[in-house]
A and B are shown apart, each in its own frame.
Chain A
Amino acid sequence: MTELATQATGLARPDQTRQHSPLYFAWRRFADNKAALGAGVVLVVLILMAIFAPLITGTGGNEQAFLTQSLAFPSGEHWFGVDDLGRDFFARIVYGARVSLGIGLSAALFSLVIGLPVGALAGYLGGRFDWVTMRVIELFSVVPPLLAALLLASVTRGGLWAIVLIAALFGWVNVCLLVRAQVKSFREKEFIMAAQALGASPWHVIWRHLIPNSVSPIIVGFVLAIPLAMMLEASLSFLGIGVQPPTPSWGQMINIGMNFIFFYWHMAVFPTLALALTILSASLLGDGLRDAFDPTLKGR
């Protein structure tokens, strides 16, 4: 900071020079991280595939159009083969991406909706509200998420929205902690006091100063919540209490594929690969964003 400031002594530079926002510099750092950039591209492709699924696949995810060719191996006609019920497996994988990514994104969104205000208030108000929030978070961190999710999923009998809410219930904790830490450190900064001295209300300080200064942890928390939610969905579906058939879900497909793995390997391998690829790219993207937004984190 001081270094930059001393460099900028004298008068302002002429109008012609382009002004770069902090976001621009974050983008430059992100673009230098090839793994994260690649992961981002893969994720975008996956999302586009999920959105335009009907245009990519010949048949719907649940259409038993190839009953005579059940359990056929991958071929030019059926890229990922055909499953035990005569459905094109590629179509099921692509439609499965809708479920997986849809749950991942909406669970991350819900995590943000809960975690952001709670974290910002806990960090700003401190005191009793902060204490209670932290005890609640500790409660969440001592309960194994999968066990609790199992219990909740069996009570609610699964279903898409139940899983989204369960994933958000465990995902908001991370977002909340990230936002709280950032708000807590920034509310002692001088510019917050300066804003208050010029008549800014607490609401204004939180909304216009503390949250914009927390954008980077918010984005990172959001992106990192996506793979967590997708893993949870896959685990629950694998155990048979998540997304119910016939809706295609990768976890559920892995579970079915396991029964065939010695004879028809494609039934287990393709959904596993799809899940691994998606979660890996979401995690790499999240890590890349975190590094890009935190230039002080040099040792990587």
Chain B
Amino acid sequence: MRLVEIEDLHVSFSQHDGLVQAVRGVSFGLDSGESLGIVGESGSGKSVTCAALLRLLREPPAKITAKTLSLSGHSVLGISNRAISTLRGRVAAMVFQDPMTSLDPVFTIGHQIAETILAHRKVTKREALAQAVELLRRVEIKNPGAVTNYYPHQLSGGMLQRAMIAMALSCEPDVLIADEPTTALDVTIQAQILQLIKDIQAETGMGLIMITHDLGVIAETVDRVVVMYGGKVMETGPVEAIFSAPLHPYTRALLNSVPGQTAGKQRLVEIAGSSPNPSHPPAGCPFHPRCPLAVAECRQTAPPLETKAAGRQAACIRVAAEMVAA
């Protein structure tokens, strides 16, 4: 039984002018203790995939279908709100992008962490508060006792993100989903938060899903990567392999466009064109309008995600030929 199992997940949102297909047939899984990065640009469906996994999307307008969508063996499709809220937090907890808005402004930090503990465990208020102090200490907040009495507006972004992580940890989740946890923070704080998440994962052995558009974050924190584009998985594989020898043309283009790879001033490399409109995705492979290797066949049929090398999969018909040629 895998911790997270997603098979053929489709998520669409109905709007006045039609259907927005945010996720189109995504499959991946996560074993306990494993860390997985989901990388992709804005609108690639990475956040929606994880929100669907926790059923955080409002349905309707969202519509979720999948062959399998489960958290440690429990299917999350077609179960009651009450049932899903017992899985949330306990099985999978989530840390959000903007810590400034992810905490309730009218309660103190300690109160909010204690509330979360009380919601999941049978302890007294006093014990919950003591545990909150302990958790804040664990996320390396200095003088945690004082911080429990602070309101969110009195703390910096980095401190708040630490508090959010403490809150997520308070439920002792089997898997932590971090949705761009460092995007709203400045670079030095980013490194600290990533290190913290890594340390905690190593310590507790929980699973980790890190959603980001930052390849640097992925390289530092995870074992395995899922590259998403246009609501589909383009490529998956171990992080070193993806960085050293990307298979899919999109992954290559993405790695090429990371600035600062060579010294000196030069024009930034970009991927020509723009990402597909999710209400009218292109037929065939979603990347073909921007792909330098596209052929006629790419425009007609979407290539399935196939195993191209040991532990590596890619959704591209050109990869095999390329690999042989290279």
Contact = CB atoms under 8 A, between A and B. Distances in A.
A200 B153 contact: no
Interface in B127-172: 141-143, 145-147, 149-151, 153-157, 159, 164, 167-168, 171
Contact of A19 (B54, B86, B149): B149
Nearest to B120: A199
A209 B104 CA distance: 7
Contacts of B171: 198-199
Contact of B119 (A5, A14, A200): A200
B28 interface: no
Interface in A167-210: 189-191, 193-202, 204, 208-209
Interface in B68-109: 81-82, 85-90, 93-94, 96, 98, 100-107
A12 B105 contact: no
A198 B147 contact: no
Contact of B146 (A12, A189, A201): A12
Nearest to B104: A191
A144 B101 CA distance: 43
Contacts of A191: 101-105
A4 B156 CA distance: 9
Interface string A7-20: 01111111100010
Contacts of B143: 12, 14-15
A199 B101 CA distance: 18
Interface residues of B, number: 46
Contacts of A212: 104, 106-107
Contacts of B190: none
A194 B103 contact: yes
B159 A12 contact: yes
Given A12-B146, A193-B56, A213-B105, A198 B168 contact: yes
Given A12-B142, A12-B143, A12-B150, A202 B81 contact: yes
B88 A197 contact: yes
B116 interface: yes
B115 interface: yes
A215 B171 CA distance: 29
A25 to B, nearest CB: 11
B85 A200 contact: yes
Contact of B88 (A9, A19, A198, A213): A198
A4 B171 CA distance: 30
Contacts of A68: none
Nearest to A4: B153
A295 interface: no
Contacts of A197: 54, 56, 88-89, 93-94, 96, 177
A195 B105 CA distance: 13
B142 A1 contact: no
A76 interface: no
The 8 A-B residue pairs whose C-beta atoms are closest, nearest first, are A199-B89, A197-B94, A199-B88, A198-B89, A190-B101, A194-B102, A9-B156, A15-B146
21 contacts: A5-B153, A5-B157, A11-B159, A12-B142, A12-B155, A14-B146, A15-B143, A191-B102, A193-B102, A196-B56, A197-B56, A197-B94, A198-B89, A198-B93, A198-B94, A198-B119, A199-B93, A199-B119, A208-B115, A213-B104, A213-B105
Interface of A: 1-2, 4-5, 8-15, 19, 21-22, 189-191, 193-202, 204, 208-209, 212-213, 215
